Amino acid sequence: MEHLRTRRAIRRSRHATMKGTRVGQIPDVVSISERPASVEDRAVPGHWEGDLLCGSKNSFIVTLVERHSRYVMLAKVPNRETQTVVNA
């Protein structure tokens, strides 16, 4: 690396970078700090939070947590496709 002109291990084109593009970004994103105060204290029942856990050997688990009572529902799904997760 010390003999390379730019001292970089891997050379990349100037045009190969993804900086400045909004690929993979959420459109019209709202900051988490702008949430209403009622969300913070979990006073209102009925608010659910969902997540997808990806394990080894292509194993996937969908989690749903009710924020007020902290009731948890788990479901094993065969793949990570959107329709499969929504149906579970």
Per-residue pLDDT tens digits for 21-36? 766 777 888 888 888 8
Give the burial string for 65-76 (b: 16+ CB within 10 Å, else e). eeeeeeeeeeee
Tens of pLDDT along the chain (88 residues) come to 667 677 667 777 777 776 767 667 778 888 888 888 877 788 888 889 999 999 999 999 999 999 889 999 999 999 999 999 999 8
Query: What is the predicted pLDDT for the residue at 29?
Result: 82
Structural domain contains residue 3: no
- Whether 5 is covered by a domain: the verdict is no
pTM, two decimal places = 0.59
The rounded distance, in Å, linking the Cα atoms of 21 and 15 is: 12
Task: Retrieve residue 55's tokens.
Answer: 């394990």
> Is residue 9, in this structure, part of any structural domain at all?
no
* Residue 44 domain boundaries: 14-87
Domain count, the chain: 1
Q: Which residues contact 17 (CB under 8 A, 6 or more apart)?
A: none
In a domain, 56, yes or no: yes
pLDDT score, position 4? 66
